[in-house]
Structure 1
Amino acid sequence: MAGAEVQLDTAGTALWLTDWQIDGLPGWTPRRVLAMVGGVPVGRLDFIVHPDGQALSVWGLEVEPAFRRRNLASAMMDALYAAHPTAWIDHGGRSLDAAHWWDRYAEPAPERNIHNRPPQEWAQYFEAPVVMAQRTRNAYQNRMNALEGHGAAEYRYGERLEAVGAQWASAYRPARAQGPDPAAGELHGGLRLVLPGELQQVMYDEGRDAAERAERLLNHMGHGNLPYAADWHTTSRAAFEDLAHAQVFDPAPAEGITHVAFRVRLAADQEVPRHEARATWVAYRDSPGIEVELTGVAWRAPQTPWVTHAAEFDRPIDAAIAPEYWRDASEQYTARFDEIGELRPGQRPRRAEAAEPFAGRVGDIAAMAAKLQEASHRRAVASLPEPTREVFEGLRGHQPSPAPQSPRLQ
């Protein structure tokens, strides 16, 4: 399976394991196996993964009608098993079509299917009452449609499923939603742009300085127009993958589109704004206009994702994540930017002041100075001659006699 950095096959069939930015269970990471035929999406397998990577839940499996009976569903499910080789798997409840498909599917690792194992092995990851309800639904589908449905592999409890669910309900441990901390470092968010012809040529001209090209892009789109709808990640790769995923499902042609990933950090005097923290990303869905320092920009064409242009700024440029609605824009934002994100008359782009080389290092410098003084003192003591002791004439009789010396050989 290929990531966003590798060109998706436009001739045959390709599988792509990608992130899937939805609101899933807190702490769990949404993922998707996407089936492509001739560069067109024809099927997808959606699932979520526990933070420790040892459990996943299948949320949906779909293949376009014209591409069914080609083993695409089985190929996607096999890819899921291969991508998470040690995880418990919850396949959930099945519809009529899914029940018929499951009856034909040769499961690669049935010992990791939680329907085939007792709850004490997996109940910390999945709610046992929900799992038992899924099993009841699947059993009904199999019975009504005369399907075996791999029933022989399922674990037999010897008691009613609802009783088992109630017994193990307390073993479930919800995952903690930690996610990136916007105040802790830099984040990356993406935007798809259609640039004027002349600017597009400039952006891909490697003979020009990358920082100059990045600033021309920012001046074109407006310093206050960083994308409020973006999911802000800890890596530019994840930001580009978001854009590639959106591009796949966009019916518009990709010609003339540029994918841009912005690297930002909160401005020094900016309070941490209200945000949604997911397992691997942060979103500012109701942004009032968030002041940030733009520390870098990267861009690429969707047709050639392996060719990436990038610029880093030694002195970050002040910018802003656009407000979702102008009526909710903050006073700080409207004082600098107009409704289309451009600087107001009299406002000029600002750069962060160059950091003092010793700023914030007072404690480290003091500790190092003390260490150097101590080492210098030890060396001074070690270089002093051995002390000599003067003996007064009147005290000589009290001194020990020198040790006898052996005669020298002539």
Structure 2
Amino acid sequence: MAADAGGLPEEGLALWLTEWKVSTKIPWPGRHLVASVGRSVAGQLDYFLHPDGQAIKVAMLRVHPDFQRRGVAGVLMDALYAAHPTAWINHGWRTGDGARWWNGYREPDPGRNVHNRPPAEWAAYFDAVDVASDKAHIAHQNERYGLHGHRDVAYRYGERLESEAGLYAAAFRPVTPVRVDPGAQPLHGGLRLVLPPAVHAFVHDRTQEAGARAAALLEHLGHGNLPRDAHWNTSAQAAFADTHHQELFESRSPGPPATHVVFTLAPLDASAVSAADALATSVEFTQPGDVAVDVTRMSWRPADRPYLTHTAALTPAVPAAIAPLSAPSASAAYRSRYDESGFLRPAARAGGRPFTDRAAQIQAMAERLLRGQASRTRTPRPKPAPPQTATPRPPAPEQRPPAPGRRP
């Protein structure tokens, strides 16, 4: 999106819509709408979307101090209306700063704001009493700060506010939360890694075998160190979105770009399922202990070139584990298989997997492979030998036809 008149930088504003994985009393899926300028987050709008897509509850709108008063909040709110062109929108109550901002904002479609319409039209989506309470709070903020607050378009209750809202409280239709079943489908979890230069070069070298590169990544991380604080999603795309979100909001040190890795797990067994906190499209492991899993596929990409995605199917699946919260909380099976750093113990390495000596040996192997490849490209090709002239054969003797009356 090009820079607007509010003074945005020349590189303009990029908008990105992704899932907001949060477990609250609102059983609607969460969404993030993030605005970024270059690699910096300029603002974010968090909201909940009704499962049928026809109602929105805004949770928070915030802009980074470096980008305030430059039109970012208005762009985010306009984008929300554009992304859901037919949905009812409940903006909730407002802080003092929010009330002052709203006073200068021009709503794209006031007719979809539940504060501007009677409860009979939207009461199936929102509790009319809660909406009435939010409106009373906003009216107080407007009076306190001397704001108009677009009160001309706000719906005026025919009866006392409490009475009319109470009439429609029974019309509200609660939503039954949808929970993913981690024992019935694969799960995908993302992780952001900053690799040593040689390892980074090796795992992104498409001339090398994909399985060996996946093994190098897993050995560098440690089989017992699969991400604990990640949400495990029902799609690999959502897992990559998590890593991108992490990339936006985390500081980056100088060096090679980060590598975004997604691990695909086989459906979990009963003991692991009981330890998972399930949301609509993802699960999170909240118990302090480790979780034994089987990795069936790995995908990875450089953060600065997400279109270059590498994939390796692991056949058979590789046993691994989601890391425990602390060493004392690890199970006996985890401690027997992994050391205190989450790497495979020697006894668990039967079968001879590639890159089994962890970080130092992985880097040495990667450097050796890359040096060999570089030397092959530098070696001049031998000149082709001159073509040899074929020696002419003597002509075959002339064969005469047989004499008449005799068989040949």
Query: Same fold judged by TM-score > 0.5?
Result: yes
> What are the superposed Cα offsets for residues 221-252 of structure 1, whole Å, 9 maximum, x if unpaired?
22111111110001111111111111111123
Q: Equivalent residue for 1:316?
A: 317
Q: Does 2:243 correspond to 1:246?
A: no
- Aligned equivalents of 2:222 and 2:18: distance in 1? 31
- Aligned equivalents of 1:49 and 1:212: distance in 2? 42
> What are the superposed Cα offsets for residues 166-198 of structure 1, whole Å, 9 maximum, x if unpaired?
333333333222232100110100111122222
Task: Kindly indicate whether the alpha-carbon contact (under 8 Å) linking 1:18 and 1:31 is maintained by their aligned counterparts in 2.
Answer: yes
1:283: Cα distance to partner? 0.4
> What are the superposed Cα offsets for residues 196-218 of structure 1, whole Å, 9 maximum, x if unpaired?
22211110000011111101211
Amino acid at match of 2:249: F
> What are the superposed Cα offsets for residues 224-282 of structure 1, whole Å, 9 maximum, x if unpaired?
11111110001111111111111111123374321111000245675523211112211
Q: Does 2:351 correspond to 1:343?
A: no
Secondary structure of 1:334's match? helix
**More deviation, 199-208/27-36:** 27-36
> What are the superposed Cα offsets for residues 22-63 of structure 1, whole Å, 9 maximum, x if unpaired?
333453222122222232112111111122221111111122
- Aligned equivalents of 1:152 and 1:338: distance in 2? 67
> What are the superposed Cα offsets for residues 96-134 of structure 1, whole Å, 9 maximum, x if unpaired?
222222122121111211111222322222222211111
1:228-267 alignment runs, 5 A limit: 228-253=228-253, 255-256=255-256, 257-266=258-267
- Aligned equivalents of 2:99 and 2:164: distance in 1? 24
Amino acid at match of 2:293: V
Q: 1:273 to 1:199 in 2, by over 3 A?
A: farther
Q: 1:226 to 1:10 in 2, by over 3 A?
A: farther
Task: Kindly indicate whether the alpha-carbon contact (under 8 Å) linking 1:15 and 1:33 is maintained by their aligned counterparts in 2.
Answer: yes
Q: 1:10 to 1:222 in 2, by over 3 A?
A: farther
Percent identical pairs in the alignment equals 45
Secondary structure of 1:347's match? helix
Q: Equivalent residue for 2:183?
A: 183
**Please, which runs of 5 or more residues in structure 1 have no aligned partner?**
2-8, 352-410
1:46-57 alignment runs, 5 A limit: 46-57=46-57
Secondary structure of 1:215's match? helix
Secondary structure of 1:346's match? helix
- Aligned equivalents of 1:19 and 1:254: distance in 2? 29
CA RMSD of aligned residues (A): 2.2
Task: Kindly indicate whether the alpha-carbon contact (under 8 Å) linking 2:48 and 2:59 is maintained by their aligned counterparts in 1.
Answer: yes
Q: Does 2:314 correspond to 1:290?
A: no
Q: 1:292 to 1:87 in 2, by over 3 A?
A: same
Q: 1:131 to 1:299 in 2, by over 3 A?
A: same
1:350: Cα distance to partner? 7.8
Amino acid at match of 2:203: M
Amino acid at match of 2:305: T
- Aligned equivalents of 1:223 and 1:66: distance in 2? 41
- Aligned equivalents of 1:285 and 1:298: distance in 2? 25
Q: 1:275 to 1:350 in 2, by over 3 A?
A: farther
1:299: Cα distance to partner? 0.7
- Aligned equivalents of 1:339 and 1:124: distance in 2? 54
Q: Equivalent residue for 2:306?
A: 305
Q: 1:205 to 1:172 in 2, by over 3 A?
A: same
Q: Does 2:162 correspond to 1:162?
A: yes
- Aligned equivalents of 1:346 and 1:279: distance in 2? 40
Q: 1:177 to 1:219 in 2, by over 3 A?
A: same
- Aligned equivalents of 2:270 and 2:109: distance in 1? 53
Q: Does 2:211 correspond to 1:211?
A: yes
Task: Kindly indicate whether the alpha-carbon contact (under 8 Å) linking 2:183 and 2:270 is maintained by their aligned counterparts in 1.
Answer: no
Q: Equivalent residue for 1:35?
A: 35
Q: 1:315 to 1:268 in 2, by over 3 A?
A: farther
Task: Kindly indicate whether the alpha-carbon contact (under 8 Å) linking 2:183 and 2:269 is maintained by their aligned counterparts in 1.
Answer: no
Q: 1:321 to 1:161 in 2, by over 3 A?
A: same
TM-score (norm 2): 0.79
Q: Equivalent residue for 1:375?
A: none
1:78-93 alignment runs, 5 A limit: 78-93=78-93
- Aligned equivalents of 2:191 and 2:233: distance in 1? 13
Q: Equivalent residue for 2:135?
A: 135
**Please, which runs of 5 or more residues in structure 2 have no aligned partner?**
2-8, 353-408
1:146: Cα distance to partner? 3.1
Task: Kindly indicate whether the alpha-carbon contact (under 8 Å) linking 2:58 and 2:89 is maintained by their aligned counterparts in 1.
Answer: yes
> What are the superposed Cα offsets for residues 54-85 of structure 1, whole Å, 9 maximum, x if unpaired?
11111111223342332211111010011111
- Aligned equivalents of 1:101 and 1:276: distance in 2? 37
**More deviation, 269-278/124-133:** 269-278
1:90-101 alignment runs, 5 A limit: 90-101=90-101
- Aligned equivalents of 1:145 and 1:91: distance in 2? 19
1:333: Cα distance to partner? 2.2
Q: 1:266 to 1:294 in 2, by over 3 A?
A: same
Task: Kindly indicate whether the alpha-carbon contact (under 8 Å) linking 1:180 and 1:281 is maintained by their aligned counterparts in 2.
Answer: yes
> What are the superposed Cα offsets for residues 266-316 of structure 1, whole Å, 9 maximum, x if unpaired?
456755232111122110022522121111001111111121111112321
> What are the superposed Cα offsets for residues 313-332 of structure 1, whole Å, 9 maximum, x if unpaired?
23211111111222222233
Q: 1:120 to 1:349 in 2, by over 3 A?
A: farther
Task: Kindly indicate whether the alpha-carbon contact (under 8 Å) linking 1:265 and 1:294 is maintained by their aligned counterparts in 2.
Answer: yes
> What are the superposed Cα offsets for residues 342-367 of structure 1, whole Å, 9 maximum, x if unpaired?
2223113689xxxxxxxxxxxxxxxx
- Aligned equivalents of 2:303 and 2:255: distance in 1? 8
Task: Kindly indicate whether the alpha-carbon contact (under 8 Å) linking 1:293 and 1:316 is maintained by their aligned counterparts in 2.
Answer: yes
**More deviation, 212-221/22-31:** 22-31
**More deviation, 16-25/33-42:** 16-25
